[in-house]
C-alpha cells in the first residue's frame, strides 16, 4: 500500500507504479480508499461536504465497511490469481485521519479483518508543501485538508511507520518532495525488491 497525507502525490505514484509493473508483465490491480464502490461513494460525498450530519464514528465505520467490501470485491480475486494489488491508502489512513478524534484501539478493532500488506510505502511531504500543491491543483479542499490538521496527521503517520517497523513489518519511507521521477524510481525499487526482481 502507499500512504501519505493529502497532496503527497500518492495517486500519481500509484498510477506510475502500476504502469511500470504492467510493462514488466505483472498482473496488477489498483484500488483506492475510499473505493469506487457504493460505500466508498458515500464516503466521498461526506469528505467533499455534499453530505452533512455524518459524525466521526459513523464515518470511521463506513471506512471499515468500504475496506472490507473492496477486499472481497477487488483485492482477494487478484491475490488468488497471483496478481499484485496496489492500494492507494489503507488502514494507516484510518488510524491517522479518524485517529484525530477517535480511540486508536477502537479503530483497530473495527478494522480487525484488514489484512497486513506485504509492503507499506510512506511518501513523506511536509504539510505546508502539501497544502500548496492542493491549492494549486484544485478548486476546492476536502474535510481534512487544513494545514493544522495535516500537521497532526503527518505526525501520526511517522508514529505508525515506527510502530510497524518495530513489529517487523516492511515499511519504506520516501521523501515526496523530490522530483516525481525520483519518487517513482524509489517506489518502484522498493516494490521490485519485495517481488524479488531487484
Could you tell me which residues come within 8 angstroms of residue 93 by beta carbon, excluding any fewer than 6 positions away?
3, 33, 63
Nine cell digits for residue 10: 500518492
pLDDT of residue 198: 66
pLDDT of residue 6: 87
Query: Is the per-residue pLDDT at 130 higher than 90?
Result: no
pLDDT per position as a tens digit, 34-44: 999 999 999 99
Share of the chain above pLDDT 70, in %: 94
Residues 145, 131 contacting (CB under 8 angstroms): yes
Q: Tell me how crowded residue 156 is: count the other CB atoms within 10 A of its CB.
A: 18
Specify the pTM.
0.89
What is the average pLDDT value for the chain, to the nearest integer? 91
139 — pLDDT class (breaks 50, 70, 90):
very low
Q: State how far the Cα of 17 lies from the Cα of 5, in Å rounded to an integer.
A: 18
User: Which helix (DSSP H) or strand (DSSP E) does residue 84 occupy?
Assistant: strand 84-88
Cell numbers found for residue 175:
521523501
Judge residue 3's burial from the number of C-beta atoms within 10 Å of its C-beta, 0-12 exposed, 13-18 middle, 19 or more buried.
Answer: buried
Q: Looking at residue 31, what is its pLDDT?
A: 94
In tens, the pLDDT along 165-197 reads 999 999 999 999 999 999 999 999 999 999 998
Q: What pLDDT, on the 0 to 100 scale, is given for residue 191?
A: 97
Strands 28-32 and 84-88, bridge-based pairing: parallel
Amino acid at each position: 500500500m502507499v500512504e501519505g497525507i493529502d497532496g503527497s502525490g500518492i495517486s500519481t505514484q500509484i498510477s506510475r507504479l502500476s504502469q511500470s509493473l504492467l510493462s514488466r508483465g505483472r498482473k496488477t490491480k489498483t484500488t483506492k480508499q475510499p473505493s469506487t464502490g457504493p460505500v466508498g461513494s458515500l464516503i466521498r460525498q461526506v469528505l467533499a461536504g455534499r453530505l452533512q450530519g455524518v459524525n466521526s464514528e459513523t464515518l470511521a465505520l463506513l471506512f471499515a465497511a468500504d475496506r472490507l467490501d473492496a477486499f472481497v470485491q477487488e483485492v482477494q480475486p487478484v491475490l488468488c490469481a497471483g496478481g499484485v494489488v496496489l492500494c492507494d491508502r489503507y488502514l494507516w489512513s484510518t488510524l491517522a485521519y479518524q485517529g484525530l478524534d477517535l480511540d486508536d484501539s477502537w479503530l483497530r478493532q473495527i478494522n480487525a479483518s484488514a489484512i497486513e500488506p506485504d509492503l507499506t510505502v510512506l511518501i513523506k511531504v511536509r504539510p505546508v508543501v502539501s497544502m500548496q500543491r492542493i491549492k494549486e491543483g484544485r478548486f476546492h479542499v476536502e474535510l481534512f485538508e487544513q494545514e493544522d490538521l495535516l500537521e497532526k496527521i503527518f505526525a501520526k503517520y511517522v508514529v505508525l511507520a515506527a510502530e510497524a517497523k518495530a513489529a517487523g513489518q516492511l515499511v519504506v519511507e520516501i521523501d515526496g518532495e523530490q522530483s516525481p521521477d525520483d519518487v517513482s524510481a524509489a517506489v518502484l525499487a522498493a516494490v521490485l525488491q519485495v517481488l524479488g526482481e531487484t
